[in-house]
Chain A
Amino acid sequence: MLLSIEDLLKSYPGPEGPVPVLRGVTLSLDAGETLALTGESGSGKSTLLHLVAGLDAADGGRVGLDGQEVTALDDSGRARLRRSTVGIIFQQFNLIPSLDVAANIAFQARLIGTPEPQELSRLAHALGLEPQLRKYPEQLSGGQQQRVAIARALAARPKLILADEPTGNLDEATADGVMEQFLALVAETGAALLMVTHSPRLAARLGRRAHLSQGRLA
């Protein structure tokens, strides 16, 4: 099992005391498996993703990823896990605006070693980014920026890809195109995918679906 989440708890401080967001979530994911996580706004989808990535600390429960206890790791341990095991795709793309497309794609792979130029070229070709390699993020459309973010996440060859509404900022036609390419590439790499989405249509394209409601899996 690649990812195992057990009885995960998380709350945020509110004006009238802590507001629970996750109330004991248990979930698992095998290598190469794809899972769509759906749920209404505020149901805790993004929080769950952040806790799996080690971007935030849980209040209780455990997250095991690739044989490591994420919830027991310190900040630098969690950072190491993100670099080497996880690829994250954000709704807001979160590219580095001062680096060009080629440097952005290679970036995470460079953090863990020397990226393979052939792999980078293959990803750029597959995602239709070759003409854009010398451009900067601000010169790209939203769809192009999300393709760069996907290429960056895949170039590091992670075992788990976490995608938070990856097409939430794109129109339907562009979103479909991007998703098509994304899922094909994920299948090629054999990585597992945990994707948060609002769209039942997109969720239906993944191997498994789970629905979060008020901090619990329905």
Chain B
Amino acid sequence: MTGAVLEALASHWRRNRLQLLTLVLGLALATALWSGVQAINAEARASYDAAAATLAEGRFHQLMPREGDSMPQALFVALRRAGWLVSPVVEGRLRVGGTAVRLVGVDPLTAPPSSAASEALARTDLNRFLRAETLVAGPEMAALLEANMPNPVLVDQAVAPGSVLADIGVVQKLLGRAGRISRLIVLPEQPLRQQPLADIAPDLVLQRADGATDVGRLTDSFHLNLTAFGFLSFAVGIFIVHGAIGLAFEQRRGVIRTLRALGVPLRRLVVLMIAELVVLATLAGALGIALGYLIAALLLPDVAATIRGLYGADVAGTLQIRPAWWLSGIAMALGGALLAAASALWRLARMPVVAGAGGRAWALGSGRTRTLQAAAAVVLLAAAGVLAVTGGGLAAGFALLACLLLGAALALPPCLAAILRLGEAQAVRAMAQWFWADTRQQLPGLGLALMALLLAMAANVGVSTMVSSFRLTFVGFLDQRLSAELYVDADAVADRAALERFLEAHADAVLPIMSVEATLAGLPAEIFGVRVGYTYRENWRFLDAIPAVWDEIEAGRAVVINEQLSRRAALHVGHTLALGPGLSLPVAGVVGDYGNPIGQAIVGEALFRQTFPAIEPSRYGVRTGNPQGLRRALTEAFDVPPARIIDQAAIKAFSLSVFERTFSVTDALNVLTLAVAAFAILMSLLTLAAMRLPQMAPVWAMGTTQRRLAGLEILRTVLLAAITAVLALPLGLALAWVLLAIVNVEAFGWRLPMYLFPVEYIRLMLFALAAALLAALWPAWRLSRMEPTGLLRIFANER
């Protein structure tokens, strides 16, 4: 019996291949976008984990310099002598063949156990490692090193992508940091008696394992955003699947009744239909995962560049097939298909055997379903309103987005029906009246595809508003921050004092740029020292500040902080910030600092030099009316290589390129989502085409040409898409507001002003209309070319 029933069920797909294609492709596309994003996330996370595992970071306490980024190696010796079991680490970045490489220098004799480094060292010839200046790296990095470095290279899979392991002395030599180490790892087993740390090394601080900075946590928000977009694309795809499954169930109602009348038990039928769905979903899921792999492989290089630019974390540029993402892809495909089929299966289980098979409208067309949909829309939109007013945190932000988008999608059919009813009421001619009424009758069939279009359009409007607002703010911010015409690398000239004197003599103003990494209010941050002058006074725009903010900074009586630090540490103007032992200053201003992941505090030059006397300026900003002349003079006077003098335009161009890369992934996902929506419309129109004949045949019989009917079909689709696009605009703007005012603040720590971009919206709308037009052309063409017998059969009751 099972074989016969399965054959009967499968025969439907054989005879309705387009519907099968819709179902499989819809599910495959949804899975592809989801699993593509998951593949990128999994690859990035694996890279972070591998990097952290190099020295088992996060599992051991560490001793860090209180100031600066290094400490004398002599401290290591002093601590060992005092009974502290510690292991030194030197870390830094080196450019190898145009690629920034993370160098990790370890002491093989004291490296902590159960770390990737100690495992790699256990597999390495220690003698060779120590004497031959050997570098140990993963396969990808090893190839780069072999091509560009004279050192022997050993390949070990345990070393993180982008990282190179070597003896501490080798790394010190390569980085030019002789006698300096970055930090000390405190081994888990320590003697009972030890001299207190404050007595041996008062300039070191103990960072506990659970307090270590975790790059994975820093990048979480970035991945969360990607996941949200992946999920949105998946949701759009599931609308297609729901439509295809709903239609398939609807068309098979007669067959299902016949099967039951012939003696197939209901339970067996439901189980077999679920099995059929599972098989199809697994196939579609596998196809989707393959497509997702391609998408991820195309996007990963940009994502890797973005994460490196934003967070300094290395992500392998090549993709591996990891169980985490392909399993999640299959699970999503199965879950999505079953979710999309749940209502159809439920109706099937409750369907009486003897009710008439024909004459039933599309499943979603029933008045009860419409009422339930409208009620759910009202509840979800109300929940979104409540969350917007009262919600806090990233989770609430995403919950608000989900309620808003789903509520709006469910509200679309009733809104469209109301608009079409209005059109029908205004129509005078019979044909116009039929057109409006017939368009309304099509809504249940096209509703899901239009919901997909609404979501895709809203996502496009929302994200493009966010990105364009961000870009506008960011450009303004760069103009504000990069006001100096030239930036001179301080390391380019050995005699720094002579360089400073020369610049003072030839430039309108010199702005030394000096900074030190610090922990402020328990958060990773930087302290900057600035020379207060007209550049800062005229160009910087504060989010909040006291009236004489720069006077206070110049006098060393206050500090300016960036928005990230202000939000994360709940510090506002008037609050006091501890900058170090014995140094606490009131906050005089909060400044926007877009694109920077960590906190920043800005003090006057004098105070900075007095507090951190060892820190020299890393660069000088130079104000001059003749940048080209000063550049030439500098080159002649100090023989400074041209690359060490960067002009403002170059820095802006670089910063903007990092910015553009950051959003290239979301741009790509946007386009893909819109393409999926266009596909949804096409498939809905194609599958509806045959079902539409009974509505069109009488109009044709009464004297309307097939050509005209086809034209009206195109007009109908474009009209529905246009109304949907118009409704998507306010929804997209609401989405942009949530992203800018809630999600971004929680994820990145800054709030951006929202700008509107009407030209961009018109362009998007035209794109959506063009997609709908393209989708409508084929079914309309088929209608116009249909043989009259096809339409005549409608009247013969032989279909």
A binds B: yes
Residues of A that sit less than 8 Å from B by CB: 50, 53, 55-56, 75-76, 79-84, 86, 88, 90, 92, 94-99, 103, 107-108, 110-112, 136, 138, 141-142
Return the CB mask of B196-224 against A: 1 if under 8 Å, else 0: 00000000000000000000000000000
Chain A residue numbers with a CB within 8 Å of B353 are 55-56
Is the pair B7, A88 in contact by a Cβ cutoff of 8 Å?
no
Give A94 to B261 CA distance when docked, in angstroms: 10
CB closest residue in chain A, given B13: A98
Cβ–Cβ < 8 Å partners of B7 in chain A: 99, 103
Whether A82 contacts B354 by the Cβ 8 Å rule is no
Instruction: Determine how close the nearest CB of chain A comes to the CB of B350; give it in whole angstroms.
Output: 12
Does B16 count as interface, using CB distance less than 8 angstroms? yes
* Distance between Cα atoms of A82 and B263 in the complex (Å): 5
Residues of A within 8 A of B364 (CB): none
User: Chain B's nearest CB lies how many Å from the CB of A173?
Assistant: 17
Q: Given A96-B255, A99-B8, decide whether A76 and B267 contact each other with a Cβ distance below 8 A.
A: yes
Q: Is the CB of A79 within 8 A of B3?
A: no
Chain B hits for A80, CB < 8 A: 263, 265
B residues in contact (CB < 8 Å) with A: 1, 3-5, 7-8, 11-12, 14-16, 254-255, 257-267, 352-354, 357-358, 798-799
Rounded to whole angstroms, the CA-CA distance of A57 and B265 in the bound complex is 15
Chain A contacts of B266 at CB under 8 A?
75-76, 79
Contacts of A82 in B (CB 8 A): 261-263
Check if B254 sits within 8 Å of A94, measured CB to CB: yes
Residues from chain B with a CB closer than 8 A to the CB of A96 are 8, 11, 255, 258-259
Q: Is the CB of A83 within 8 A of B263?
A: yes
- Pair B354/A111 contact, Cβ less than 8 Å: no
Q: Which of A53, A56, A107, A141 counts the most B-chain CB atoms under 10 A from its CB?
A: A107
Given A110-B3, A138-B798 in contact, is the A98-B255 Cβ separation under 8 Å? yes
Instruction: State A88–B353 Cα separation when bound (angstroms).
Output: 13
CA distance A50 to B266 in the complex (A): 17
* B1 and A94 contact, CB distance less than 8 A: no
Contact of B12 with A83 in the complex, beta carbons under 8 Å: no
Query: How far, in whole Å, are A76 and B1 apart by their CA atoms in the complex?
Result: 13
Q: For residue B11, which residues in chain A have a CB less than 8 angstroms away from its CB? A: 96, 98-99, 103
Query: Smallest CB–CB gap between A65 and chain B, Å?
Result: 13
Minimum C-beta distance from A160 to chain B (A): 13
Q: Given A98-B12, A141-B798, does the pair A83, B258 have CB atoms closer than 8 Å?
A: no
CB distance from B352 to the nearest CB of A (A): 8
CB distance from A54 to the nearest CB of B (A): 9
B12/A107 in contact, CB under 8 A: no
A188 to B263, CA, bound (A): 24
| Chain B residue, CB-CB nearest to A77 | B265
Closest to A100 in B: B11
Residues of A within 8 A of B357 (CB): 92, 94
**A76:B265 contact, CB within 8 angstroms:** yes
Q: Within 8 Å CB of A142, what residues of B?
A: 798
- Most chain A CB atoms below 10 A, which of B257, B262, B798: B262
Q: List 5 A-B contacts (CB under 8 A).
A: A56-B354, A97-B254, A107-B8, A110-B4, A112-B1
Given A82-B261, A98-B15, 4 more A-B residue pairs with CB atoms under 8 Å apart are A86-B263, A88-B261, A94-B258, A110-B3
State the CA gap A53–B260 with chains docked (Å): 11
Q: A83 to chain B: which residues have CB within 8 Å?
A: 1, 262-264
CB pair A107–B261 under 8 Å, yes or no, is no
Q: How far is the CA of A111 from the CA of B4 in the complex (A)?
A: 6
How far is A60 from B262 in the complex, measured between Cα atoms in Å?
Answer: 24
Minimal beta-carbon separation of A115 from chain B (angstroms)? 10
A163 CB, min distance to chain B CBs, angstroms: 13
Q: Give CA–CA (A84, B1) in the complex, Å.
A: 11
Q: A92-B357, A98-B8, A103-B7 are in contact. Are A111 and B264 (CB under 8 A)?
A: yes
A110 to B259, CA, bound (A): 12
In the complex, which residues of chain A have a beta carbon less than 8 angstroms from the beta carbon of B265? 75-76, 79-80
- Residue of A at shortest CB range from B259? A96
Q: What's the minimum C-beta distance from B694 to chain A, rounded to whole angstroms?
A: 14
CB distance from B543 to the nearest CB of A (A): 66
> Which A residues are in CB contact (< 8 Å) with B14?
98
A88 x B354 contact (CB < 8 A):
no
CA–CA, A96 to B7, complex, Å?
Answer: 11
Q: Which residue of B lies closest to A153 (CB)?
A: B262
Instruction: Report the minimal beta-carbon distance from B249 to chain A, rounded to whole angstroms.
Output: 14
In the bound complex, residues from chain A placing their C-beta under 8 Å from that of B261 are: 53, 55, 82, 88, 90, 94
The interface residues of chain A lying within 8 Å CB-to-CB of B358 are 92
* A82, A98, A111 — most chain B CB neighbours (10 Å): A98
Q: Is the CB of B799 within 8 A of A138?
A: yes
Inter-chain contacts of A92 with B (CB < 8 A): 357-358
Q: CA–CA, A97 to B357, complex, Å?
A: 13
Known: A98-B8, A98-B14, A138-B799. A84 touches B254 (CB 8 A): no
A136 to B258, CA, bound (A): 16
Complex Cα gap A111–B262 (Å): 8
Q: Which residues of A contact B16 (CB under 8 A)?
A: 98
Check A79/B8 contact, CB under 8 A, given A94-B254, A98-B16: no
Question: Which listed residue, B255, B263, B267, touches A84 by the CB 8 Å rule?
Answer: B263
Chain A residues lying within 8 Å of B258, measured Cβ to Cβ, are 94-96
A193, chain B: closest CB distance, angstroms: 17
- Shortest distance between the CB of B10 and any CB in chain A (Å): 8
Q: Which residue of B lies closest to A111 (CB)?
A: B1
Cα of A99 to Cα of B254 in the assembled complex, Å: 13
CA gap between A82 and B7 in the complex, in Å: 20
A50 proximity list for chain B (CB < 8 A): 354
Query: Is there contact, CB below 8 Å, between A79 and B799?
Result: no
Closest to B258 in A: A94
A107 and B262 form a contact (CB under 8 A): yes
Q: Which residue from chain A places its CB closest to the CB of B16 in the assembled complex?
A: A98
Instruction: Give chain A residues whose Cβ lies under 8 Å from the Cβ of B262.
Output: 82-83, 88, 107-108, 111
The 10 A-B residue pairs with the shortest CB-CB distance, nearest first, are A83-B263, A82-B263, A98-B11, A110-B4, A98-B15, A79-B265, A76-B265, A94-B258, A98-B12, A111-B1
Min CB distance B495 to A, Å, is 88
Identify which of B7, B14, B266, B357 gathers the most chain A CB atoms within 10 Å of its CB: B7
Most buried by B among A83, A92, A97: A97
Q: Closest Cβ of chain A: how far from B353's Cβ, in Å?
A: 5
Give bound CA distance, A79 to B352, whole Å: 13
* B348 → chain A closest CB, angstroms: 14
A117 to chain B, nearest CB (A): 15
In the assembled complex, the Cα of A82 lies from the Cα of B1 at a distance in Å of 13
**Nearest CB of A to B75, in Å:** 80
Chain A residue, CB-CB nearest to B5 = A111
Q: Which residues of B contact A76 (CB under 8 A)?
A: 265-267
Which of chain A's residues have a CB closer than 8 A to the CB of B267? 75-76
CA of A83 to CA of B264, assembled, Å: 7
Asked if B260 and A79 sit within 8 Å, CB to CB, the answer is yes
Contacts of B259 in A (CB 8 A): 96
Q: State the CA gap A7–B357 with chains docked (Å).
A: 30
Contacts of A110 in B (CB 8 A): 1, 3-4
Task: Give chain B nearest CB distance to A198 CB in angstroms.
Answer: 18
Cα distance A50–B357 in the bound complex, in angstroms: 15
Which of B8, B263, B264, B354 has the most chain A CB atoms closer than 10 A to its own CB? B263
Within the complex, the shortest CB–CB distance from B96 to chain A, in Å, comes to: 63
Which residues on the B side are within 8 Å of A95 (C-beta)? 258
> Considering the chains assembled together, what is the distance between the CA atoms of A103 and B255 in angstroms?
14
- A138–B11 alpha-carbon span in the complex (Å): 14
Looking at the assembled complex, report how far the CB atom of B251 sits from the nearest CB atom of chain A, in whole angstroms. Answer: 9
Complex formed: what's the CA distance from A136 to B3 in Å? Answer: 20
Chain A residue with Cβ nearest B352: A56
CB B670 to nearest CB in A, in angstroms, measures 39
Task: Name A156's closest neighbour in chain B (CB-CB).
Answer: B262
Cα–Cα distance between A84 and B262 once the two chains are bound (Å): 9
Q: Report which residue of B5, B258, B265 has the largest number of chain A beta carbons within 10 angstroms of its beta carbon.
A: B258
Q: Name the residue in A90, A94, A103, A141 with the highest tally of chain B Cβ atoms < 10 Å from its Cβ.
A: A94
The chain A residue sitting closest to B4, CB to CB, is A110
Determine the chain A residues whose CB is within 8 A of the CB of B255 once the complex forms. 96-98
